[in-house]
Chain A
Amino acid sequence: MAGLLERMSLVIKSKLSKLLDRAEDPAETLDYSYEEQLKLLQNVKRGIADVTTSKKRLQLQADKLEQSLVKLDTQARDAVAAGRDDLARQALERKTLAQRQLQDLDVQIQQLEGQQEKLTTSERQLSAKIEAFRSQKEVIKAQYSAAEAQVRIGEAATGIGEQMADTGLAIQRAKDKTELMQARAGAVEELIEAGTLEDFTAGDQSQLDRELAQISAGQQVDAELERIKAEVGAGAGQKELER
């Protein structure tokens, strides 16, 4: 099969053999290669941690949006009860916007989860291969002459080299995805700070909050006024009786 896919495997093999041809001391090559493998393993672990952090950040935003959905819904109901359909409409418009944001976030969180899984699989495979390589390199160093060792190293290096390339690519792709998501998360946070989405997360009262607060304050004032009127009225009656 001399097709495309074989070509990919050949690209990797030629890179490896170039690398091995340069080596003069097989034992040294083995140790060096092993160190590189361990570095890559650290990289993949860091990659998993980064993806996890980004996912948490998005989940936090999603939680905030969930809360604001409840709040906006309550506000819309309060506004309708107060006969202020205009305010209710505003609250519902914001709710729709928040819902859309939330859907986007859910998709992004799922994508990051996919990356996390891929990296975890890659880490497991790389780690197992490194361990196998480590024991094989000790055997090669102990038992073979330089010429024989070269052949054996070639065999062991192909498998591990291919895995390293695969893991390296997985890390790169996860990094690209994570950076993209972080940029988007940052953009949403900026919108929130700029006040466009103020009501979703900000502690400050929005215009809507203030108007609703005025309504409920107004209702409270009316109720208080009624109560005082009733008391005063009752007092006046009392005096008349006393007279």
Chain B
Amino acid sequence: MIVRLMGEGQYRIDEQLREQLNELDGRAATAIDQNDEPALDDLLDEMWQLVRQRGEQLADDELSGSDVIIPPSDLTLEETKKLFSDEGLIPDLPAR
């Protein structure tokens, strides 16, 4: 599975790490629901660390999309929430 650390790059991760991230992801969802920004930031930092340590970084010219995208912990809770919605912090892709 391919993971993107936003603003840093893409990594390929194994099944074991995927399960670990899955668990942290569940807790991150709870933190967001409870508006608990410190807890969310800690969880995101933990995910980043795991991916950096155990993932294999993809080459810059790799054109694969990612299965999962992990935002950085220095966004505000509101910004992070927006990332998960359709309007998105992520700018609209150019339409013609």
Contacts and interface: CB of A to CB of B under 8 A. Distances in A.
A161 B93 contact: yes
A21 B68 CA distance: 23
List of 9 A-B pairs having minimum Cβ-Cβ separation, nearest first:
A158-B65, A128-B60, A159-B63, A3-B25, A132-B61, A128-B61, A8-B69, A165-B90, A5-B68
Given A3-B22, A4-B29, A4-B32, A159 B64 contact: yes
B38 to A, nearest CB: 17
A112 to B, nearest CB: 14
Given A15-B92, A131-B61, 14 more contacts: A1-B68, A3-B22, A5-B21, A6-B68, A8-B71, A9-B69, A12-B69, A12-B90, A19-B95, A22-B96, A161-B65, A162-B65, A165-B93, A169-B89
Nearest to A124: B60
Contacts of B60: 124-125, 127-129
Contacts of A165: 90-91, 93
B96 to A, nearest CB: 6
Interface string B79-96: 000011110111111111
Contacts of B22: 1, 3
Contacts of A3: 22, 25-26, 28-29
Interface in B39-64: 59-64
A122 B7 contact: yes
- B contact patch SS: loop
B39 to A, nearest CB: 14
B66 A162 contact: yes
A4 B90 CA distance: 15
B21 A1 contact: yes
A104 to B, nearest CB: 19
B70 interface: yes
Contacts of B63: 129, 132-133, 136, 155-156, 158-160
A17 to B, nearest CB: 11
Most buried by A among B6, B9, B28, B91: B91
B42 to A, nearest CB: 15
A215 interface: no
Contacts of A121: 7-9
B61 A4 contact: no
Contacts of B67: 1, 6, 9
